[in-house]
Chain A
Amino acid sequence: MTANTIELMHKGLTRIQGPLLFVKNVSGVGLYESVEVMASDGRQRVGRVVSVDQDNVVVEVFQGVDGLSLSETRLRFLGQPIMLDVGKGMLGRVFNGIGKPLDGGPRVSAEVRLPIQGNAINPVRRMVPKEFIETGISSIDIMNSLVRGQKLPIFSGSGLSHDQLASQVARFARLRGGEAEQFAVVFAAIGVTFDTAERFRREMDEYGALERIALFLNLASDPSTERLLTPRVALTAAEYLAYKEGRHVLVVLTDMTNYCEALREVSSSHDEIPSRKGYPGYMYSDLSTIYERAGRIIGRDGSVTQLPILSMPNDDITHPIPDLSGYITEGQVVLDRDLDRRGIFPPVKLLPSLSRLMNEGIGKGLTDPDHPILALQLYAAYAQAHRLRLLSSVVGEEGLSSADRLILRFGDAMEQKFIHQGGERRTLEESMDIGWQLLAELPDEALLRLSEDQLDRQIRGRRHAR
């Protein structure tokens, strides 16, 4: 396909509606082809073809339509989907939401041009993610373990400390016993404030990791439709770093809620039939083309691990955004306002949190043979404490048996000693030890998940030590 420039006079552009341009008398244009849109002021914007008819084309403009006129707008159809130039020297740089340098530095040497939409990894070429990443955070390492190639979102709420948690993971994360080898961080700001992006950059800087990070910024003030491109641009860069340069890339996408809002905005401008809460019916499929780009491929060195952040509107986990995300991602780390208020950091709400790939990455030969059973028993006891808490809020603690009161105390200790850790980095062994200590406070009959042998090795000794 050759690029054909068509200068459109007032006859061509017939209508501008929301982010959509309706163009007449164009032929030889393919679906999802990228388009350069130039206003009379010479400012260039990126668009793409979303619908084609015999000689009518609808173009979606990603960077706002302010200042466009019917008569003076020129369009250039590029004959290819939207591409990103990738090459050496992307790390340490700051780009805008469509991958143009923002830091005054030179353009990236375009070794390869890749379509930002990406392609689905053939399932038979996927390597099962099982390399445990030690994040240094007990509630993740022990209870919701992260592995390379996983997509594990943080479900948060406005004003909670998800950004600090993401930055802590980005700084602390390493393979056990491994050196900090070929790792890199790609940070995509999707409609967040300048502050958020800058704080992340600064924290990485203080940690001396700035030359390992690439930032893609679509800030709150940037056009909302551009948000549809930013995660894809960032992931395209990440895939280059992973599969061409062999790095283990952690991609932080914040905030996916803003992405979904933009999707809804664009969808309604297409007059599409909305599904739940006005979000388009294809939001699941659309989100999956972002999240499913996490993975490891057989025979390639690098990996793409995703840590998307999304703020649950009104803290509601059943809202379509967290709900559809949760059906695609491999678990979720849920943050809780109550814990946050009580000064517990990170405020990870354990019960609804989950890592689906955990069992692939932990246990004998991977972390510790007793790691899986420790997590199960901690979960079982903590869930029981949670139930008893509800019960005691009605009948009072006196209405509980002494065995139940022990469990209740275990629940409190779990939050104060295990979940809460401030800015401290804990090794897996340190986290496990805290877990066993807490369980040792409970009697045998409350520890049904543990075998006699496990009680002997891990619990009874710790009771005697007291």
Chain B
Amino acid sequence: MSTAEVYWINGPVIRARAHGVFRMKEAVLVGDDRLAGEVIRLSPDAVTIQVFEDTTALMPGAVVEGTGLGLAVELGPGLLGQLFDGIQRPLKVIAETHGDFVGVGQSAPGIDRERLWPYVPTLAEGDRVNGGEALGEVQETPELVHRVLVPADVKGKITWMAPAGDYNVEAPLARILDSAGEEHEIPMLRRRAIRSPRPVARRLTPGQPLLTGQRILDTLFPIGKGGAGEMPGGFGTGKTVLQQTIAKWCDADVIIYIGCGERGNEMASILREFPELDDPRTGRKLMERTVVIANTSNMPVAAREASIYTGITLAEFMRDQGFHVALVADSISRWAEALREIGGRLEELPAEEGYPAYLPTRLAEFFERAGRVETLGGLEASVTVIGAVSPPGGDFSEPVTAHARRFTKCFWALDKERAQARFYPAIHPLQSYSGYVDDVARWWQDRGGMHWQDRRARVLTMLEQQARLEKMAKIVGRDALPAEQRLILVCADVITETLLSQSAFSENDRYCTPEKQLAMLELLDQFMDLAEEAVTAGADPDAFYALPVMRKVQRAGDDVANDDLDAIKDIGREMDEAFAGMTRAGTRESA
């Protein structure tokens, strides 16, 4: 392999004089500690390298070793339940061998070499195969069957097949003879470059929602399986809690959670919570379907840049086996800042806010790796990407928020004022949107939500009118508004409390089934009908607040269990009676 000699060091960026050929984006090892790095610029007299580890004590003269391969991750069974850093070092293994602190030159393979997996072939010798087809299966977790695929670039005839049995990831499982006469030996373990997307047979558009169990998302701003969404919010608006909530309850088969430049204690809390919480669909522990990538803010900045590519490559690997994968990245801004920092050290000409001019291109490449696809093996699968963005000063016009918006179809804007009132999830219903409503409407209709789209629109209209009327009320006083307008304010209040507010800590409310969401939407629809009738008959809308049933309506999320939807019907009946009583009293008065 080629080598080079370091002559210039500036933080995570170094330059070396090459002896031999280096390629762009080639992975390299630097110095005696064999720090991981990647070639990012080439010139006749210098190879410029970004180093993914701390470069303290690195000296000119240190030797750089080329690997001849792009920066890659290891793939195979055994990813689930793991915690990796940004360049796929298994942090649990590193803690066992190197102690409590992450230091220079600590490394271990991403996939355990020793562990044996129960393998069952699904094809036989003599079968002809194409890239992406499954050769056999491994029961990776009690819920998930890992498919061992033929590499995408291999096709031919199976000349030898390992019998069912326990194998480690390096053991050959099959030999395939291609048309050029070359024989390929196929183990479970794969190495794949992280910078480019993995091939698929065909891309499809999202058709069913990724259910998160959060009413404001599923009912008002749904994201499709295979969609891309952005979640911007200033600090303290609840981004991380919402990201974790989605990672916990969404109905994907596999979750990739990327903590990119975020807090160490948050990673610790995921590691403590996820192994204890049950997946609402399978009853298994959440950690069994989750891979965590943690590059906390104080870990090296270049590895932070790599972390989202590591994450999405893992996601594509699981997708190719036919799974629906949700990738949650917290936060895209820290990744963009890492780009900016490296760019600054390369003395690149900065564009907006000091970010490099290629920021939008990189964002586009990343978000475009989301999608619903038909895999090479003919399965329907998807990667959904949800990226948190941390705009400086909470200003959504800054480059990362603004550019990410161009490449995502869901925009979930987190609102400071709601968060400060501890109103969660603090998503602002008027600043947010979803481009997947039409895609998923059919799914809701099939679930019995015949009027789902109309009711959703009615709710949003109320909230929109509320914003306008509140401005007016600020000037003339609420009492000066006519009853019909105060009715809108009351309806919007009730919608906000009932539908939009949801407690992440309540046993009943932290996950809301689609059935319960439909029932609550119907309850609100009924309330609006009754309230409108009552006001037409002369009732004072502000008097509705004091009706005892209204406490029950607004607390339905918290008080009613997912499997007790009759209780919502009961509230509906009680509301009918309460309003009928009010109208009778009103009629008596006027008589």
In this complex, how many residues of chain A approach chain B with their Cβ under 8 Å: the count is 85
Query: Which of chain B's residues has its CB closest to A394's CB?
Result: B474
Is B236 within 8 A of A401, CB to CB?
no
| CB-contact partner of A30 in B57, B347, B417, B421, under 8 A | B57
The stretch among A2-10, A377-385, A424-432 that forms the contact with chain B is: A377-385
CB neighbours of B422 from chain A (8 A) = 375-376, 379-380, 383
Cβ contacts A to B, 16 pairs, < 8 Å? A31-B11, A31-B56, A52-B59, A120-B298, A122-B99, A124-B91, A127-B268, A284-B337, A285-B261, A285-B301, A352-B236, A354-B419, A376-B422, A380-B421, A391-B478, A394-B474
State whether the Cβ of A200 lies closer than 8 Å to any Cβ in chain B: no
- Whether A194 is near chain B, meaning CB under 8 Å from some CB there, is no
Q: Are B265 and A285 in contact (CB under 8 A)?
A: no
Which of the candidate stretches A209-217, A255-263, A325-333, A415-423 sits at the interface with the other chain? A325-333
A287 to chain B, nearest CB (A): 8
B212 interface contact, C-beta 8 A: no
A30–B59 CB distance below 8 A: yes
The answer to whether A394 touches B475, judged by C-beta atoms less than 8 angstroms apart, is: yes
Q: Which one, A94-102, A166-174, A267-275, is touching chain B?
A: A267-275
- Contact partner of A126 (CB less than 8 A), chosen from B61, B268, B395, is B268
Do A401 and B542 form a contact, CB below 8 Å, given A125-B100, A272-B344, A284-B261?
Answer: yes
If A52-B9, A122-B100, A323-B235 touch, whether A357 touches B265 (CB-CB below 8 Å) is: yes
The proximity string for B residues 400-444 relative to A, scoring 1 for CB distances below 8 Å and 0 otherwise, is 000000000000000001011111000000000000000000000
- Asked, given contacts A120-B264, A128-B269, A448-B555, whether A33 binds B57 with beta carbons under 8 Å apart, the answer is yes
As a 0/1 sequence over residues 384 to 401 of chain A, the CB contacts with chain B under 8 angstroms (1 = contact) are 100000110011100111
Q: What is the CB-to-nearest-CB distance from A297 to chain B, in angstroms, rounded to a whole number?
A: 5
Instruction: Check A273–B9 contact: CB distance below 8 A.
Output: no
Q: Which A residue sits closest to B62, measured CB to CB?
A: A30
A324 to B337 alpha-carbon distance, docked (Å): 12
Residues in chain B near residue A351, CB distance under 8 A: 420-421
Q: Given the known inter-chain contacts A53-B8, A123-B294, A285-B301, please indicate yes or no for A292 contacting B263, CB distance below 8 A.
A: yes
Q: Chain B nearest CB: distance from A167 CB in Å?
A: 26
Question: Does chain B have a CB within 8 A of A366?
Answer: no
B272 and A288: CB pair below 8 A? Answer: no
* B358 sits at the interface (CB 8 A): no
Q: Cα distance A379–B420 when bound, in Å? A: 8
Once A120-B101, A120-B264 are accepted as A-B contacts, the answer to whether A399 and B478 lie under 8 Å apart by CB is yes
Report the separation of the CA atoms of residues A272 and B354 in the bound assembly, to the nearest whole angstrom: 11
| 20 further interface pairs, Cβ-Cβ under 8 Å (given A123-B267, A330-B263) | A30-B59, A121-B101, A121-B264, A122-B94, A122-B100, A123-B268, A125-B101, A273-B350, A288-B297, A326-B236, A328-B297, A354-B236, A372-B505, A380-B421, A383-B417, A401-B479, A403-B545, A448-B554, A451-B558, A451-B559
Across the interface, do A123 and B393 meet the contact criterion of CB distance under 8 Å? no
Chain B residue numbers with a CB within 8 Å of A1 are 57
B102 at interface, CB cutoff 8 A:
yes
| Interchain CA distance A204-B154 in the complex, whole Å | 73
Quick check: B236 and A123 within 8 Å, CB to CB? no
A316: nearest chain-B partner, CB-CB: B393
Check if A32 sits within 8 Å of B91, measured CB to CB: no
What is the interface of chain B, defined by CB distance below 8 A to chain A?
7-11, 55-61, 83, 91-92, 94-95, 98-103, 234-236, 240, 259, 261, 263-265, 267-269, 271-272, 294, 296-299, 301, 334, 337, 340-341, 344, 347, 350, 353-354, 390, 392-395, 417, 419-423, 473-480, 497, 505, 542, 545-546, 550-551, 554-555, 558-559
Residues of B within 8 A of A292 (CB): 263-264, 296-298
Instruction: Please report the C-alpha to C-alpha distance between residue A267 and residue B104 in the assembled complex, in whole angstroms.
Output: 25
| Separation of A395 and B474 alpha carbons in the complex (Å) | 7
Pair B268/A28 contact, Cβ less than 8 Å: no
Q: How far is the CA of A442 from the CA of B334 in the complex (A)?
A: 44
Contact of B264 among A126, A372, A391, A396 (CB under 8 A): A126
Q: Given contacts A122-B95, A149-B265, A399-B479, are A273 and B59 in contact (CB under 8 A)?
A: no
CB contacts between A and B, total, < 8 Å: 216
The answer to whether A330 and B101 touch across the interface, beta carbons within 8 angstroms, is no
A28 to B550, CA, bound (A): 76
**Residue A230 is within 8 A (CB to CB) of chain B in the complex:** no
**Is B505 within 8 A of A359, CB to CB?**
yes
Identify which of residues 78-129 in chain A touch chain B, using a CB-to-CB cut-off of 8 Å.
80-81, 117, 119-129
Whether the Cβ atoms of A285 and B555 lie closer than 8 Å is no
Q: What's the Cα separation between A326 and B240 when bound, in Å?
A: 13
Closest Cβ of chain A to B401, distance in Å, is 14
Complex interface: chain A residues within 8 A of B294 (CB): 123
Contact in complex: B392, A276 (CB < 8 Å): yes
Min CB–CB distance B153 → chain A (angstroms): 36
User: Lowest 5 A-B CB distances belong to which pairs?
Assistant: A383-B421, A399-B477, A318-B393, A288-B297, A326-B235
Q: Is A346 on the interface with B (CB-CB < 8 A)? A: no
In the complex, what residues of A have CB within 8 A of residue B56's CB? 30-32, 81, 117
Tell me whether B334 and A284 are in contact (CB under 8 A). yes
For residue A320, CB closer than 8 A to chain B, the reply is yes
Q: Across the interface, which residues of B come within 8 angstroms of A275, CB to CB?
A: 340, 353-354
**A360 contacts chain B at the CB level, 8 A cutoff:** yes
- In the docked arrangement, what's the CA distance between A400 and B545, Å? 15
A357 closest partner in B (C-beta): B265
Using CB atoms, name the residue of chain B closest to A331.
B236
Question: CA A298 – CA B354 in complex, angstroms?
Answer: 40
CA–CA, A383 and B420, complex, Å: 7
Residue on B nearest A27 in the bound complex, by CB: B60
Which of B271, B341, B354 meets A285, CB within 8 Å? B341
